[in-house]
Amino acid sequence: MSFRTIASSPAEPLRVVVAGAGNMGRAWLTAVTAAPGVELAGVADLNLTAAKDAVAAVGRPGLAYGNDAVELARQTGAQALINVTVPEAHHSVTTAALFAGLPVLGEKPVADSLSRALSLVAAAELTGELFMVSQSRRWNPQLSRLRAMTRHLGPIGTITTDFFRAPHFGGFREQIAQPLLIDMAIHAFDAVRFLLDCEPVSVYCQSYNPQWSWYAGHANATAVFEMESGTRYVYNGSWCSTGAETSWNGRWRVSGQNGTALWNGDDEPTLHTPTECTIPDPPPYSGIGGALRVFVEALRTGQRPSGEVHENVMSLAMVEAAVQSARTGRPARIDAVLTRAYADAVRAEDRADVCRVLQNWPAVRDALATRGSDLGAVDPVPAAPLGVVEPLVGQVDRVRESPGAGDLGEAETDGHPQTGS
pLDDT tens per residue across span 174-210: 888 999 999 899 999 999 999 999 999 999 999 999 9
Q: pLDDT at position 380, please?
A: 36
pTM for the complete prediction?
Answer: 0.86
- Domain 141-272 in CATH 3.30.470.20? The answer is no
Give the confidence band of 278 by pLDDT, cuts at 50, 70, 90: confident
Q: What separation in angstroms does the CA of 242 have from each of 106, 168, 222, 263, 264?
A: 32, 11, 18, 21, 18
CATH fourth-level superfamily of 1-139+286-307+333-421: NAD(P)-binding Rossmann-like Domain (3.40.50.720)
Q: pLDDT at position 370, please?
A: 52
Residues 6+ apart with CB under 8 A from 349: 119, 122, 355, 358
**CB contact at 8 A, 33 and 16:** no
197: alpha, beta or left, given left = phi > 0 and alpha = psi -120 to 50?
left
Question: Sign of dihedral through CA atoms 288, 72, 23, 98?
Answer: negative
Q: pLDDT at position 369, please?
A: 87
Boundaries of every domain in the chain: 1-139+286-307+333-421, 141-272
**Rounded-to-integer distance, Cα 239 and Cα 146, Å:** 25
Q: Residues 242-262: pLDDT tens digits?
A: 999 999 999 999 999 999 999
| Residue 360: pLDDT over 90 | yes
Mean pLDDT of the chain: 88
**Rounded-to-integer distance, Cα 276 and Cα 315, Å:** 33
Q: pLDDT at position 420, please?
A: 40
| Residue 265: pLDDT over 80 | yes
| Residue 217: pLDDT over 90 | yes
Residues 6+ apart with CB under 8 A from 310: 1, 121, 124, 367, 368, 369, 371, 372, 373
Q: pLDDT at position 138, please?
A: 87
| Residue 299: pLDDT over 60 | yes
**Rounded-to-integer distance, Cα 408 and Cα 391, Å:** 26
Q: Render 195-206 in DSSP notation, one character per residue.
A: HHT--EEEEEEE
Q: pLDDT at position 392, please?
A: 52
Across residues 379-386, what is the average pLDDT? 32
